[in-house]
Structure 1
Amino acid sequence: MKPKVLLIEDSTSLAILYQQYVKEEPYDLFHVETGKEAIAFIERNIPQLVILDLKLPDMHGEEILDWINERQIPTSVVVATAHGSVDLAVNLVQKGAKDFLEKPINADRLKTSIALHLQQVKLTNLVEDIENKFDRTRFHGFIGSSLPMQGVYKIIDSVAPTSASVFVIGESGTGKEVCAEAIHQESKRKDKAFIAINCGAIPKDLMESEIFGHVKGAFTGATADRKGAASMASGGTLFLDELCEMELEMQKKLLRFLQTGTFTPLGATKEMKVDVRIICATNRDPLLEVEEGRFREDLYYRVHVVPVDMPPLRERGNDILTLATHFLKMYAKEDGKKFAAIHRDAESTLKRYNWPGNVRQLQNIIRNIVVLNDDTHLRLSHLPEQLTRNQKAKTVTTQTITSPQTAPDPTHTSFAPPASEASPTDVPERPVTIRPMWQIERETIQQAIDYCDGNVLNAAVLLELSPSTVYRKKQAWEAEDEHQTV
């Protein structure tokens, strides 16, 4: 099937001319004259590329670009603009447009631009297909496709079918219990019970009863026999979270249970045997706990057969935005709110924050935002001060460092080692003159344009830059030269 290119142009004569330009090209060029027709076309059949005229009879082209961005429609947009609107076109490139074409568009420029952007779309789709084939964005209760999470998924795949003990290690809120449930669901025990015990939330004098159960009269208040977690998980999986919080005496009893598969309920005389897989977890450093005498070394080696290190959220890159968007849409649907996406200014702040509470903290913050606000996008103004405080401090610090009163003159800087550090072998004969980067950049770009006989698009390809970047810089330099001449 041929790629589809949508031309949004209110001039019928220009549209016919452009269609003549590309009639022999390996794609279909469709034409609409108004913004309303364009939106209807995109909703019916998403094109790979949109060529967008800014001045339309019923709306401004920028509104269509915003509409595409808000709905995260997978299409590339190239803006077509008259000479006097180049500054606006550059602004639209910053908002997500891939490039701009300055009118009047000649045949070679149009064909080259369309071919270039369709090739980029094709390569992007190919990469996404490969990623989808080998990487997973969702895995049981997990959401995320970052490399650290792909490693976690692969370990789960490998260990789940076995009977090996697993020790999940990670900060609070990283999803240790989700990991344990995923191992259970991938194992042969998935049809049996998954029982979770938080060892840090149970008083020490009740821990033995919680895990092994008790018989009537075993202690004050034991008015009936009670099954423990070990019995309830028989045939399935027992997950012991925050294992390092367990008292040493209870650790000794747990070790015997792990070695023999047998236990005696509190107050009973008859030993019981169960078939249970044990998965343990901690948010502490287990080796440090062993060294400090708070965790039995023999128990550590018994449970630490296959370790799974859960990455903190701050190391998961774009997973932060994927999770935030998931929670945003989920809570918006629950509460009947309009939230559908995250605005770009908020995206950068979410990715820069350290997230000490990890996924749990992110989830709670998004929940709070949805409850207290109602908007189509989560914006920077919605974020709590704890997320934006560091950003403001960083801005103030940067402004102080680059203050005109303290900043060195970048025009000519000479570097020479301090006298105390200099040696006959490393002291240059003369100081090295460092030129400003903008001068070198301008010369390099101009040389590429001259080499391509003035063809900016070809020069951009050689420089491996976006054509819009080259156009914008070229225009700024020309305007500066004009100003200096005047």
Structure 2
Amino acid sequence: MAKPNVLIIEDSPSLALGYAAQLEEAGYLVKLATTLAEAREALSGGTFAAALLDLQLPDGDGLTLLQARIADAPAFIVITSDGSLSRAIAAMRLGAFDFLVKPVSGTRLLSTIRSAVDQAQVKENKTPKGLPKDDDRFHGFIGRSPAMKQVYRTIQQVADSRAAVFVTGETGTGKEVTAEALHAASRRSRRAFVAINCGAIPENLLESELFGHVKGAFTGAVENRIGAAKAADGGTLFLDEICEMELKLQVKLLRFLQTDMIQQVGSSRAEPVDVRIVCASNRDPFREISEGRFREDLFYRLNVIPLHLPALRERGDDILLLAGRLAASIAQEEGRGEMELSKASRAEILAHAWPGNVRELQNTLRRAIVTAPDTDIEVNIPHGAASRMAGGASTAFPPLQVAARPADPHGPFPVDLSGLNGLTLAEIERIVIEAAIERQYGNIAQAAKRLAVNPSTIYRKLEKWNE
């Protein structure tokens, strides 16, 4: 088997020779270029699987090689200093495979080159994956609106990159479906996809869940356990509700992203892993950063490829398309045979704002199908103001009547108990929990602290209410 060719574009002779020595020892054929002109000449006269690219070159900016969209271009790996991290991220958005921060460890250099070469070899042996022109399905999504087609295009463009993807969007828009689509469309699809909810796991267990632990590391650690990062080695690690992660663990996650090395709880040995990171949040990360709950340096490590999912109300006719497909699927699951949405239900679906997005639509349709006396699906949506407000909280219960909100979210919790007359204890519990979440601006962990319960308790209840 022919040795892969790697081009090193670096004007520092000591660095270039150091990289070359490590790569040649690992079995690669290496060519050096110290200027943009030499790099262009090398690229036009030969084929390379990967290229290390320094952005600061004597005769110009290394980004111009990415902007030029050279035919049969290699997988560019940008090498940058900490001060030019923003430019490295710009390079990723132009199609760079990955970026490395100087000084680069030998382990990180070789693992990144290996991944880039593997991608090049996979591309040689497969047919191009274009977007379906007429189909309205795409890796778990249903929809053909312009907003969703843009999402599909982005997924296709970045699927094979190692660049981290930060998915944002309202609850129920399909953030985990997006992560699964990125995995399925990538060369990593034959390896594991591992999802972990950073908000549903108690703080003292999240590090162990993420990085693993050795036997005896803490009370209850009765055996060695690999974490999610190791389980996803070679595949994709999805970190949901990333903004819920405690600051102490954010530091360790940042270290992992910088080194590609994990250290199990209770162990003194670090080991390399190769994972593609996809994370998601339904909260505004910029607000979390400004209020000190999320590290800015971690955000810029994770937000290399930003991907925002449109709310269901922003997807036009996708709403009826989704409703029809979901209704048919749910009816089959429930053993109801062929069923059809009534004309009134279709109008009702179009008129509703769907603050809970696709998840709310699924639950509404399931309720209508299960209770339908015949083959007509009659959708009944609560008409309260809260359920109609775009982006508001969806609830079948009357809103808790709270007096003027105090400026301090930790202050007293004044309520008008007359609004609770006739409600069951379970209904009152839900109203109180949702009000606590609202008072803490969507922060589940803080709401749980105020209610003196574990965050996982709230997440279980939210999941149950959304069924």
Cα offset, 1:293, TM superposition:
0.8
Partner of 2:380 in structure 1?
A: 383
| Equivalent residues of 1:144, 1:323 under 8 A apart | yes
- SS of 2:319's equivalent in the other structure is helix
- SS of 2:225's equivalent in the other structure is coil
| Equivalent residues of 2:355, 2:387 under 8 A apart | no
Alignment of 1:426-437 (within 5 A): none
Q: What CA distance in whole angstroms lies between the structure 1 residues aligned with 2:372 and 2:133? A: 38
| Equivalent residues of 1:350, 1:387 under 8 A apart | no
| Equivalent residues of 1:339, 1:370 under 8 A apart | no
Q: What does the per-residue CA deviation read over 1:416-457, in whole Å, with 9 as the maximum and x for residues that have no partner?
A: xxxxxxxxxxxxxxxxxxxxxxxxxxxxxxxxxxxxxxxxxx
| Equivalent residues of 2:147, 2:315 under 8 A apart | yes
Alignment of 1:184-203 (within 5 A): 184-203=183-202
- SS of 1:164's equivalent in the other structure is coil
Cα offset, 1:322, TM superposition:
1.3
Task: Sort the Cα spacing of 1:266 and 1:390 in 2 relative to 1 into closer, same or farther, 3 A.
Answer: closer
Q: What does the per-residue CA deviation read over 1:156-176, in whole Å, with 9 as the maximum and x for residues that have no partner?
A: 010002111100001111000
Cα offset, 1:386, TM superposition:
4.0
Q: What CA distance in whole angstroms lies between the structure 2 residues aligned with 1:178 and 1:390? A: 25
Task: Sort the Cα spacing of 1:153 and 1:135 in 2 relative to 1 into closer, same or farther, 3 A.
Answer: farther
Cα offset, 1:133, TM superposition:
6.2
| Equivalent residues of 1:339, 1:374 under 8 A apart | no
Q: What CA distance in whole angstroms lies between the structure 1 residues aligned with 2:207 and 2:153? A: 34
Where do 5+ consecutive residues of structure 1 fail to align? 1-131, 392-486
TM-score between the two structures when normalised by the length of structure 1: 0.51
Q: What CA distance in whole angstroms lies between the structure 1 residues aligned with 2:352 and 2:233? A: 43
Q: What CA distance in whole angstroms lies between the structure 2 residues aligned with 1:157 and 1:170? A: 19
Task: Sort the Cα spacing of 1:226 and 1:147 in 2 relative to 1 into closer, same or farther, 3 A.
Answer: same
Partner of 2:395 in structure 1?
A: none
Amino acid paired to 1:327:
L
Q: What does the per-residue CA deviation read over 1:77-130, in whole Å, with 9 as the maximum and x for residues that have no partner?
A: xxxxxxxxxxxxxxxxxxxxxxxxxxxxxxxxxxxxxxxxxxxxxxxxxxxxxx
TM-score between the two structures when normalised by the length of structure 2: 0.53
Q: What CA distance in whole angstroms lies between the structure 1 residues aligned with 2:272 and 2:162? A: 17
Q: What does the per-residue CA deviation read over 1:213-240, in whole Å, with 9 as the maximum and x for residues that have no partner?
A: 0000000010000110001000000000
Amino acid paired to 1:364:
N
Task: Sort the Cα spacing of 1:387 and 1:332 in 2 relative to 1 into closer, same or farther, 3 A.
Answer: farther
Cα offset, 1:377, TM superposition:
2.5
- How many residue pairs get aligned? The number is 258
Q: What CA distance in whole angstroms lies between the structure 1 residues aligned with 2:168 and 2:199? A: 15
Query: After alignment, is 324-333 or 156-165 more displaced?
Result: 324-333
Cα offset, 1:329, TM superposition:
1.0
Partner of 1:241 in structure 2?
A: 240
Q: What CA distance in whole angstroms lies between the structure 1 residues aligned with 2:345 and 2:293? A: 43
Amino acid paired to 1:215:
V
| Equivalent residues of 2:354, 2:387 under 8 A apart | no
The answer as to 2:254 corresponding to 1:268 is no
Alignment of 1:282-301 (within 5 A): 282-301=281-300
- SS of 2:226's equivalent in the other structure is coil
Query: After alignment, is 232-241 or 382-391 more displaced?
Result: 382-391
Partner of 1:331 in structure 2?
A: 330
Q: What CA distance in whole angstroms lies between the structure 1 residues aligned with 2:134 and 2:336? A: 32
Task: Sort the Cα spacing of 1:248 and 1:174 in 2 relative to 1 into closer, same or farther, 3 A.
Answer: same
| Aligned-residue RMSD, C-alpha | 1.9
Amino acid paired to 1:279:
V
Q: What does the per-residue CA deviation read over 1:451-474, in whole Å, with 9 as the maximum and x for residues that have no partner?
A: xxxxxxxxxxxxxxxxxxxxxxxx
Alignment of 1:225-240 (within 5 A): 225-240=224-239
Please say which structure displays the higher CA radius of gyration.
1
Task: Sort the Cα spacing of 1:133 and 1:143 in 2 relative to 1 into closer, same or farther, 3 A.
Answer: closer
Partner of 1:341 in structure 2?
A: 340
The answer as to 2:335 corresponding to 1:315 is no
- SS of 2:167's equivalent in the other structure is strand
